[in-house]
Amino acid sequence: MNHVNGRASDAAFDRIRGEPHRRYNPLIDEWILVSSGRTSRPWQGRREAAGQESAPRFDPNCYLCPGNTRANGERNPAYESTFSFTNDFSALRPGTTTERVQDGLLIAEGEEGACHVLCFSPRHDLTLALMPVQAVREVVDVWADETTELGAQYRWIQVFENRGQIMGASSPHPHGQVWAGSALPREAAREDAAQRRHHGEVGRRLLLDYADQELDGPRVVEVNDDWLVVVPFWAAWPYETLLMARQPVARLPELTGSQRESLAEILIRLLTRYDNLFGLSFPYSMGWHQAPFGGVETDHWQLHAHFLPPLLRANVRKFMVGYELLAESQRDLTAEQTAGELRAASPTHRFAVPVAEVDTPLSVRTT
């Protein structure tokens, strides 16, 4: 990636960059507090286990490995690529009543939906960062297919991945989820309103304007012809990144074959930089935000994904507590600093698995 020292407009922030200041997030109409230098304070609190996770290629006790029996008694097929199934313990279910009830200030309504699990690979020991480009491209295709299928019935399709125990992942097997709901959830509604307002005022998509302003700037982590990854100017989490399509596109199914291929490539490079930053399998929650369904126009909405890792240091997590919970989000490092650290991390994985080994079929129990 060719990188220069940002656009001239970024110099306007030099006077306050090292001082406590607030930054505005136009995507959700919210401010955050930036307190640069707080990482130098003594830390005697909780420390997370550090080091690279190791796992077998196949775990006979894993609910998600090919051929194994899941918690509900169903057996997985001997799948050889991305495998999708209905979550055995779904948070949302089809056929749920959508009745709305109210008693004064107490209001509730039923929520109908569906929850799917996506096993990215039959290999128990791989992550998206360690998978070949073609295998990650297959994951992208399944994300798009699931969006199309569920979008025919539900308004909001949330594709996401929780990686690592610290993020609440219930299994170490490489997997993500797709939840579909009939209502527009909080973050989606805020992003929809902000993007709609910006498009109505200037006739352009907010995130395309933002991508254009950030391109070649100090917060860029990765860029190719189709995608841009930045630590957003308003990032709340220390190593948070925002992945944006660089051409107008509202949903995953709209991506062309070449855009899906380049997405797979940039995903691997970004996640590899995360892993190499502290020399461990970097935990995160990531999720795609795509235009809601339901027959509404989508000219204002730009496809993007949020990566929200919890770590502040290799074995210290960022706790969103106290001021963050009661007042507003606060970060201890500037977006420019963490973007520079991610750029400095190698895009070649230090624990890369030879392609020939990845492609070797697994011998799994199927009876």
The tens digit of pLDDT for each residue in 93-115 reads 999 998 999 999 999 999 999 99
Which of 175, 198, 289, 304 is an active site residue?
A: 175
Q: Which of 49-63, 180-194, 265-279, 313-327 has the lowest mean pLDDT?
A: 49-63
Cβ atoms of 333 and 93 within 8 Å: the answer is no
The tens digit of pLDDT for each residue in 140-164 reads 999 999 999 999 999 999 999 999 9
* pLDDT (0 to 100) of residue 50: 54
pLDDT average, residue stretch 350-360: 64
Alpha-carbon Rg for the chain, nearest whole angstrom, is 21
* pLDDT (0 to 100) of residue 360: 56
Is the pLDDT at 135 greater than 50? The verdict is: yes
Q: Which domains does the chain have, with CATH numbers?
A: 60-99+107-351 (3.30.428.10)
* pLDDT (0 to 100) of residue 297: 93
* pLDDT (0 to 100) of residue 11: 76
Name the more confident of 352 and 65: 65
Percent of the chain residues past pLDDT 70, beyond the cut: 89
Is the pLDDT at 365 greater than 50? The verdict is: no
Let me know if 297 is exposed, middle or buried by CB neighbors in 10 A (0-12, 13-18, 19+): exposed
Is the pLDDT at 43 greater than 60? The verdict is: no
* C-alpha to C-alpha distance for 224 and 265, rounded to whole angstroms: 9
Is the pLDDT at 175 greater than 90? The verdict is: yes
Query: In what helix (H) or strand (E) does residue 285 lie, and over which residues does it extend?
Result: strand 284-289
* C-alpha to C-alpha distance for 233 and 245, rounded to whole angstroms: 17
Is the pLDDT at 364 greater than 50? The verdict is: no
Is the pLDDT at 63 greater than 70? The verdict is: yes
Taking the model in full, what pTM does it have? 0.91
* C-alpha to C-alpha distance for 192 and 183, rounded to whole angstroms: 13
* C-alpha to C-alpha distance for 118 and 142, rounded to whole angstroms: 8
- Check residue 112 and report its DSSP letter: B
175 is catalytic: yes
The tens digit of pLDDT for each residue in 288-301 reads 999 999 988 999 99
Is the pLDDT at 178 greater than 90? The verdict is: yes
Within 10 Å of residue 302's Cβ, how many Cβ atoms?
Answer: 27
* pLDDT (0 to 100) of residue 90: 95
* pLDDT (0 to 100) of residue 263: 98
- The Cα-based distances of 131 to 66, 74, 82, 161, 355 in angstroms read 17, 27, 12, 15, 8
- The Cα-based distances of 365 to 67, 85, 125, 173, 358 in angstroms read 5, 19, 17, 17, 19
Cβ atoms of 300 and 195 within 8 Å: the answer is yes
Average model confidence (pLDDT) across the chain: 90
Is the pLDDT at 245 greater than 90? The verdict is: yes
Is the pLDDT at 354 greater than 70? The verdict is: no
Confidence of residue 355 (pLDDT cuts 50, 70, 90): low
pLDDT average, residue stretch 282-309: 96
